[in-house]
């Protein structure tokens, strides 16, 4: 996500947008959308890591008790790790309307 956001980043001349409310709103929207996208990716990957840790612990215990359950538990762990990918997709959608440059 940082690579995507860094490609959208541009310098903004604050003197040119000082009196124009529409341009100011666009710049503020872009900043908050980028912040929200980063927060979305960070939080979903945090919870994804927690889910994978819990399921991985359960998978180790279940595999030790019954080796036939390994593939079934592995599928559940893959679903837990997919949460992070969904968070990335949502963040890309959130930042798709970001426009940092202001054309005069």
pLDDT band at 2 (very low <50, low <70, confident <90, very high): low
Q: Per-residue pLDDT averaged across 65-90, rounded? A: 88
- Among the ranges given (35-39, 44-48, 97-101), the one the predictor scored with the smallest mean pLDDT: 97-101
pTM here? Answer: 0.74
If 0-12 CB within 10 Å is exposed, 13-18 middle and 19+ buried, where does residue 41 land?
Answer: buried
Q: Is the dihedral of CA 24, 30, 33, 38 positive or negative?
A: negative
Q: Per-residue pLDDT averaged across 16-36, rounded? A: 83
pLDDT band at 103 (very low <50, low <70, confident <90, very high): low
Tell me: pLDDT of 94 over 80. Answer: yes
* Residues in Cβ contact with 13 at an 8 Å cutoff, skipping those fewer than 6 apart: 102
């Amino acid at each position: 996500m940082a690579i995507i956001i860094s490609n959208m980043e541009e310098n903004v001349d604050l003197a040119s947008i000082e009196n124009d409310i529409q341009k100011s709103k666009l710049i503020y929207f872009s900043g908050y959308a980028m912040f929200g996208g980063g927060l979305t990716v960070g939080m979903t990957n945090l919870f994804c890591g927690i889910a994978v840790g819990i399921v991985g612990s359960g998978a180790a215990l279940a595999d030790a008790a019954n080796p036939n359950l390994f593939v079934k538990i592995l599928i559940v762990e893959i679903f837990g790790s997919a949460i992070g990918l969904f968070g990335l997709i949502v963040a890309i959608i959130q930042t798709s309307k970001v426009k940092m440059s202001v054309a005069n």
